[in-house]
Amino acid sequence: MEKSEALKRITELSELIRHHNYLYYQQDAPEITDFAFDSLLKELEILEKQFPEFIDPNSPTQRVGGEITRVFKSVKHKYPMLSLDNTYSEGELKDFDNRVQKILNEPYDFVGELKIDGVSISLTYESGKLVKAITRGDGVQGDDVTTNVRTILSIPLALPDNEYPAEFEVRGEIYMPRSGFDKMNQQREETGEQIFANPRNATSGTLKTQDSSIVAQRPLEAFFYFLAGDGIDASSHYERLNLLKKWGFRICDIRTRVNNISGIIDFINEVGEGRKHLDFDIDGVVIKVDSIRQQERLGFTSKSPRWAIAYKFQAEEAITRLLSIDYQVGRTGVVTPVANLEPVLLAGTVVKRATLHNADVISALDVRVGDFVHVEKGGEIIPKITSVNFSSRHAASVPTDFISVCPECGSELEKIEGESAWYCPNEKSCPPQIKGKLEHFISRKAMNIDSLGEGKIEVLFDQGLVRLPADLYDLQYDQLLNIEKVLPGESGKPGKKISFREKTVENILNGINNSKEVPFERVLFALGIRLVGETVAKKLARHFVSLEKLLNSKYEDLVQIDEIGDKIAQSLLSYFAADENINHINRLIEAGLKMETEADETTTRGVLKGKTFVVSGVFEHFSRDGIKQSIEKNGGKVNSSISSKTDFVLAGENMGPEKRRKAENSGVKIISEEDYLGMIGPEISE
């Protein structure tokens, strides 16, 4: 192909892909299949490799990242990003309304928008192309995170038409949807990585990650709420939001325009009632005078605009004393600090403990034993310390130094470069790591030996009967009968008593024996290989079919598999290179565990081929995981959230109201369990 032809085709493909991205992410109305879209993208990638001189920084192929940013350059904002005045009361909202009325002395409208709990971002576009992405910083200047922002699929790199000014700025909030955050944390927990505290922290940390390819893998999204520049053909804020949406930016559709403050208060109350059903976190509502002319008349104080205010929802908070800090060791050796608190009532429950996450958090908060600390429930579930009441700190308080040795085995702790967690490296002898690996092995998504739950693994470990998963398959009836142990409770008090009577022992041995029927992909997950979670284990099992072929694979074979990158490949090779791991696997093989994928597991019936489902609720004939496995077995695909690509929402009892609302608004068909069984025909359910 001649260079001129190549440039023409690259330009055509780039515009076509941007068009379909716009339809998918902004309009929720795709015109082509995923396969057709991927084919266009692949063709563009091939051409850009052949003609690298034609690669545009805003090309759709550049979304995957890969650039390393050692230092984030500080850049001054063209328009200062001032903070908003906050209020928590209706009375202060009415005071704000009175101030606006006094200055304007003419009719005006308010716009109410959700206050997304994310990271503020300012994007600059020139000739319709993204040239710069700057964090809020101190409002005057922020960090240049353009390389990372380019990887976020819902942010347009180049706009589809020429109706926009030559240069303009758009501001918004980058956030992580709750569903994506939960799925990411679940995968990190399965693979032994430190989980994130909350979506906002995950978003903030991701945006400052040095490797943009990691950013590309995180489920970041963005909503936009502000447009500035010369020659903008829109005289009100509400019209500018619509203009941004037309240009291809994601605008939150939960907003209102009213002509009095009482309408805003009604909107706030409505949002407050419904926010628990949203798939993203908000911490309030932003109220703005709609007219740009009136905004200019109202002007600014030294800190904030006079034409806007943020009503913030009151997070339930308590203040209590930090009594001590414990350090817990997980199955992968990660050491997590946990705060012991004076009991305090918070969101209807008594809170005695709160996570401190890692050494960096302790340092950032400067939290010390004896301090009075502010405690909130992150996401209204997990207690967290948000700040310290320094005014009440005792003069003799001592800074908290993170421990340097493992609290369980005394080994020197280690830290992996680029990670915040400290690890105990003694995985072979550290008791909580050994017990953690055993508990992972018997867990529901692994070998599913539920008869060994409720502290029985701890008893078997303490009795010296089990140290490796393979030891479970050597257990005998006489070894287990009449074992008794009282587990430790809180504050050193006696806890639950575990007794191994006849029926208990029979159930344990039956459960262990039944686990020999667990499919290979779950056996592979049960091994607890670092970074090999449930999804990765499934991909490996289906690709290699047998453990023997996996053991004989090379680095090049591994990284060719979808979602298997350098770190996972290295982790697998390191695990299988250790003689003790191979010896352990050989014992599991001798015990009769499945180490290859059976024929009926490698093929599907295909009756649901090309159909995508979202599952919600409780089912009569299936467990939640069971119905997902059934969908995949029959050729279908399961997603966690509803999108334009969703064909059916499979609704059980107690379906989530937010999923039902979104399905109805999107026109996605909601089917029952009976409808589903009719689609797949005869099948043995769980």
489 vs 643, more confident: 643
278 and 135 within one domain: yes
Domain ends where: 312, 346, 361?
A: 312
* pLDDT of res. 27: 59
Say if residue 380's pLDDT is above 70. Answer: no
Say if residue 275's pLDDT is above 90. Answer: no
What pLDDT band is residue 638 in, cutting at 50, 70 and 90? Answer: confident
The stretch 458-481 carries a mean pLDDT of 95
* pLDDT of res. 485: 83
237 and 202 within one domain: yes
What pLDDT band is residue 490 in, cutting at 50, 70 and 90? Answer: low
- For this structure, is 115 an active site residue? yes
Full domain range(s) for residue 648: 612-680
633 and 588 within one domain: no
Query: Is 70 inside any structural domain?
Result: no
The stretch 231-258 carries a mean pLDDT of 92
527 and 494 within one domain: no
Say if residue 633's pLDDT is above 70. Answer: yes
Query: Is 673 inside any structural domain?
Result: yes
463 vs 655, more confident: 463
Catalytic residue among 8, 76, 115, 485: 115
Range ranked top by mean pLDDT from 35-49, 304-318, 648-662: 304-318
Query: Is 607 inside any structural domain?
Result: no
Query: Is 71 inside any structural domain?
Result: no
What pLDDT band is residue 600 in, cutting at 50, 70 and 90? Answer: low
The stretch 361-367 carries a mean pLDDT of 93
600 vs 395, more confident: 395
Range ranked top by mean pLDDT from 55-64, 453-462, 556-565: 453-462
What pLDDT band is residue 25 in, cutting at 50, 70 and 90? Answer: low
454 and 369 within one domain: no
The stretch 338-355 carries a mean pLDDT of 86
Q: 44, 14 in Cβ contact below 8 A?
A: yes
Pairing of strands 669-671, 648-651: parallel
CA Rg, the chain, in Å?
28
626 and 561 within one domain: no
Say if residue 366's pLDDT is above 70. Answer: yes
What is d(CA 98, CA 608) in angstroms, rounded to the nearest whole number?
60
* pLDDT of res. 97: 96
269 and 393 within one domain: no
What is d(CA 505, CA 484) in angstroms, rounded to the nearest whole number?
12
Domain ends where: 463, 490, 517?
A: 517
* Number of domain units in the chain: 6
Q: Give the ranges where 251-302 is alpha helix by DSSP (H).
A: 261-274, 292-298
176 and 100 within one domain: yes
The stretch 589-605 carries a mean pLDDT of 76
* pLDDT of res. 685: 41
Q: What is the residue-averaged pLDDT of the chain?
A: 87
- pLDDT per residue as tens digits for the range 639-650: 877 877 889 999
The letter for the amino acid at 600 is D
Query: Is 540 inside any structural domain?
Result: yes
Q: The domain spanning residue 628 has which CATH number?
A: 3.40.50.10190
Residues 6 or more apart whose CB falls under 8 angstroms from that of 71 comprise none
Query: Is 558 inside any structural domain?
Result: yes
What is d(CA 377, CA 588) in angstroms, rounded to the nearest whole number?
43
DSSP, res 570: H
Say if residue 603's pLDDT is above 60. Answer: no
Query: Is 83 inside any structural domain?
Result: yes
- pLDDT per residue as tens digits for the range 85-121: 889 889 999 999 999 999 999 999 999 999 999 999 9
What pLDDT band is residue 68 in, cutting at 50, 70 and 90? Answer: low
- pLDDT per residue as tens digits for the range 288-317: 999 999 999 999 887 789 999 999 887 677
DSSP string, 128-154: TEEEEEEE-TTSSEEEB-HHHHTT-TT
- pLDDT per residue as tens digits for the range 160-188: 776 789 899 999 999 999 889 988 888 88
* pLDDT of res. 686: 40
The stretch 50-68 carries a mean pLDDT of 75
Q: The domain spanning residue 438 has which CATH number?
A: 1.10.150.20
542 vs 604, more confident: 542
Domain ends where: 64, 86, 105?
A: 64
536 and 396 within one domain: no
564 and 501 within one domain: no
* pLDDT of res. 190: 75
Q: Which two tokens stand for residue 207?
A: 């945006």
What is d(CA 628, CA 613) in angstroms, rounded to the nearest whole number?
9
Query: Is 420 inside any structural domain?
Result: no
The stretch 315-339 carries a mean pLDDT of 91
Torsion 11-17-21-22 (CA) sign = positive
Pairing of strands 648-651, 612-616: parallel
253 and 211 within one domain: yes
Mean pLDDT check: name the lowest of 55-69, 145-159, 461-475, 499-513.
55-69
The stretch 229-243 carries a mean pLDDT of 92
266 and 230 within one domain: yes
Q: The domain spanning residue 364 has which CATH number?
A: 2.40.50.140
